[in-house]
Amino acid sequence: MNKIVVIDPGHGGKDPGAVSNGINEKDIVLTISKYAKTELENNYEGVTVYMTRTTDVFVELSDRAKFANNKKADLFVSNHVNAGGGTGFESFVYTTINGGATEDMRKAVHDSVFGVYKGFKDRGKKKANLAVVRETAMPAMLLEHLFIDTKGDADYLKSDANLKAIAKAEAAGIAKALKLKAKTNNNTSASSKPKDKEKSIYKVQTGAFGSKENADKLAAELKKKGYKTFIVKE
């Protein structure tokens, strides 16, 4: 059965989110979200991925939740970057969540994503009265990817390779949460295909002469006997 995932890049347009150290939250989370969508679509079967925004536009919080509800999503993941002078990664579900599918899915995603944040603090799996996790009708979580106003955190987020790693881990966590099956590549590349056994050709040299006349005589005799003959001058 096909699973539907809605990934929500926080903020956008007139709302930049947190801004510090030369980067904007809205740009970082849009990049992570796009990479995560691509990872899911390219590497897992039976999943359709939507984003609440794919460009730098402003979307109201309630409209993000409505979008996911209208898509009848199986999971909603909202990406954000933290601020306030701290460090590390944390995740949130709605305040009334107590165990069940939402907590199980959040754990799968949280643990997978934190796996790339080596050297950073795991700030924990938390609960909060946040609109996008309150108004969504499916399991929903909000991820806070490091702190934009802490230099070490911000420097990490400035690397595109790091953003790809975050997105890959997020996709893997989502896949685990939804029990998605990894795609298998049945198309063997040309370079890995076993080569057909090549036909071998064996050449026999019957003589070498210092004069063209002698070479012509031997070639004529061989031709009479049915051998294909040619003369090579070296």
Chain-centre distance of CA 100, in angstroms?
28
136 found inside a domain: yes
Q: Would you state the pLDDT for residue 196? A: 45
Is 135 tagged catalytic? no
Same domain, 94 and 142: yes
Same domain, 167 and 213: no
Chain-centre distance of CA 162, in angstroms?
12
191 found inside a domain: no
Q: Would you state the pLDDT for residue 213? A: 75
What SS3 class is residue 32?
A: helix
Same domain, 173 and 214: no
Q: Which two tokens stand for residue 186?
A: 């049945």
Q: Would you state the pLDDT for residue 189? A: 36
Segments forming the whole domain that contains residue 62? 3-178
Q: Would you state the pLDDT for residue 145? A: 98
> Token pair 């890959």 is at which residue?
168
99 found inside a domain: yes
Q: Would you state the pLDDT for residue 220? A: 74
163 found inside a domain: yes
Which residue in the list 103, 144, 170, 198 is annotated as catalytic?
144
Look at phi and psi of residue 85 and say left if phi exceeds 0, alpha if psi is from -120 to 50, else beta: left
Same domain, 134 and 230: no
Number of domains in the chain: 2
102 found inside a domain: yes
185 found inside a domain: no
d(CA 225, CA 11): 88
Same domain, 20 and 74: yes
- The CATH code of the domain that includes 170 is 3.40.630.40
Chain-centre distance of CA 127, in angstroms?
28
Contact 109, 143 (CB under 8 A): yes
Q: Would you state the pLDDT for residue 193? A: 43
List the chain residues with pLDDT less than 70: 186-211, 219, 222, 225-230, 232-234
188 found inside a domain: no
